[in-house]
Structure 1
Amino acid sequence: MIKNKTIFGYIMLAGILGCLATSAFAAPLQILEFKKAQFSQTEQDQLCKQAKDLCQQDVQWRSLKTPDQNLWILSSRNDIAQFKPTALGFKLVRKWNIVTVATEDGHHNQYIFPKLFPLTQQRYAIAIIDQFSEMYSGGGANIERASFYELKDSGDEHRFIENYPFSFSRMIRACFSEQDYESSKGKCHDEDGLSLDIRPLKPMLWQFRYHYRLDVSPASDSNEKSYQGSRNLNIDLNKVPKQPNIPVNWDYTGQE
């Protein structure tokens, strides 16, 4: 009888552990943000011994921990490193060096968006943002386009989304005469802009939430009306559309 109770106890314990494991595995995917890193000198020395590129002069770090307690570091020189916890401290798993570009005139730059995007429970991606700016008489625009890269175990990156709208803000002059200034009610520009929020729904499925706003000056001759709009798009990461299905006027890419 005691033996049977013992066996029954083991079965119950195994069932509980199995449920806990399943619950942990099924935990919702979350986008994680790199934040300013705070390490002791001992911890920095340990990490630098394993990834010397992180520790060049004037290099700054941001860090985060994934649900499996792995440590990720993003450096100001675009190195990304992944470390796993061990009894002796963090051990380097792999490292990526991300190449970005910047023009001398500052009209086109690239940067790594400081977040880690989950594809599955164990696979992650980053976004590289192309940043453009343009100026014109009495106005201008700032435009951002995003490409997403999976960080592969080999230390390489695989691009699976290319040149998606990420954000923009634009001002177009609407006042050209004294009469325009009088009728503008203090608003002498047409202004519009786009923003994007991303939400992981399940492994290999993200929801892109685009938000657009248009604010038209009373002095404008554009025949447009102010409005706000939004569109939610579920993106299957196994077969990504070349471009998202949003209205053409939401997808401003700059003057040709």
Structure 2
Amino acid sequence: MKKLVLFFAIVSFSAVAGITDITTKPVALTALKKNSAQYIDICKAVDDFCKDGTPIWKEKNSNDIFYLTTSHLQLMKMKKEGDVYSKIVSWDFTKETNNEDIPDDELTKSDVYIYPALYPLSKLKTAIALVSKWSTTYSGGGREEEYANFIMINDDGTYQPAFKNIPFSSREMIKACFTEDDYAKQSHCHDESWSILSLKITDDSKDYYSWKFITKSYNWPAFKERSSTQVRINESVAYPFQSQP
């Protein structure tokens, strides 16, 4: 199965009841090559933080803002001025994973990571996505689910969850072929399903932007052609810190 990727909705301006709602979108962070001169220079500037191949990200459309993420769920923001790299602020999200709900007794947490994107909450505030991955294996298949906490990051190193336990992505494969004849006759020997979250973030002149959560779910039955895949879309709208979708 293809690796699931989070996609973001990009839409044009629209006018409703005489008011123009402006749609915005997340800012992607692109990884620096670990053998590049820039990566090495940044690591030298933060030698106590950059260890064991720490990812370093560049803010899209910016040549002077960088982010470092560690496996210990720390995030550091840096700025380049001339040839000098300096730390602006850092956040530590380790405590954020202590009280997570278990989505299913069958699943075990297998990873937690900071997704490489910045999500607009308002004209001045931004969030990151702290993603928890839960999984289990079957004979000839398995199931994986990811949930995100979208967390507002402040310039003083503090943070505040804006949305919690949002379904981020999922996938499942269940074996359907069991004999040699099954495998000889069928090219698609699994029941497969997966889901992907998209976001539509809109400035509708309130304190915080409205977020529309769009989950597109796919179901591809065993022994069927890929074209028979069934698609279902679920949408909900919520505002940061007010209600959950």
Q: One fold, TM greater than 0.5?
A: yes
CA distance in 1, matches of 2:39, 2:162: 38
1:139 offset after TM fit, Å?
A: 1.8
Whether the aligned pair in 2 keeps the contact of 1:119 and 1:125 (CA below 8 Å) is yes
Structure 1 position 181, deviation (Å) = 5.2
Query: What residue number does 2:194 align with?
Result: 193
Match of 2:209 among 179, 204, 209: 204
Q: Which residue of 2 aligns with 1:94?
A: 89
8 Å contact from structure 1 (residues 82, 93) kept in 2: yes
From 144, 149, 152, the equivalent of 1:150 is 152
Indicate the residue corresponding to 1:230 in structure 2.
Answer: 233
Task: Report the equivalent of 1:108.
Answer: 110
Match status 1:29 vs 2:30: no
Normalised TM-score (structure 2): 0.67
Number of the residue aligned with 1:216: 221
Q: Looking at secondary structure, tell me which structure has more helix per residue.
A: 1
Number of aligned residues = 204
TM-score of the pair, normalised by structure 1 = 0.64
1:124-135 to 2 correspondences below 5 Å: 124-135=126-137
Provide the C-alpha distance between the structure 1 equivalents of 2:219 and 2:61, rounded to a whole number of angstroms: 38
- Aligned match for 1:76, one of 61, 70, 76: 70
Structure scoring higher RCO (CA < 8 A, sep ≥ 6) equals: 2
Q: Cα offset for 1:40?
A: 5.3
1:44 equivalent among 41, 48, 64: 41
The match for 1:239 is: 242
Q: Hey, what's the Cα distance between the residues in 2 that align with 1:28 and 1:229? A: 24
The corresponding residue for 1:160 is: 162
State the alpha-carbon separation in 2 of the partners of residues 123 and 48 from structure 1: 30
Q: Deviations over 1:109-152 (max 9, x none)?
A: 10111111111122111111111221122321121111111112
CA distance in 2 between partners of 1:141 and 1:153 (Å): 38
How big is the alpha-carbon RMSD for the aligned residues of Structure 1 and Structure 2? 3.6
Q: Residues 34-93 of structure 1, C-alpha deviation per residue, up to 9 Å, x if partnerless?
A: 212378569936x865x55434464341121678x8724123344323346768966543
The 10-residue stretch of structure 1 (166-175 or 78-87) with the greater mean CA deviation from structure 2: 78-87
| 2:222 counterpart SS class | coil
In the alignment, the residues of structure 2 paired with residue 85 and residue 138 of structure 1 have an alpha-carbon distance, to the nearest angstrom, of 49
Listed as ranges, the gaps of 5+ residues in structure 1 are: 1-25, 220-224, 245-256
* Secondary structure of the corresponding residue to residue 49 of structure 2: helix
What amino acid is the match of 1:191? E
Measure, in 2, the Cα distance between the counterparts of 1:165 and 1:42. Answer: 33
SS in 2 for 1:54: coil
Secondary structure at the counterpart of residue 41 of structure 2: helix
CA contact (8 A) 1:123 1:150 kept: yes
The one-letter code sitting in structure 1 at the alignment partner of 2:65 is L
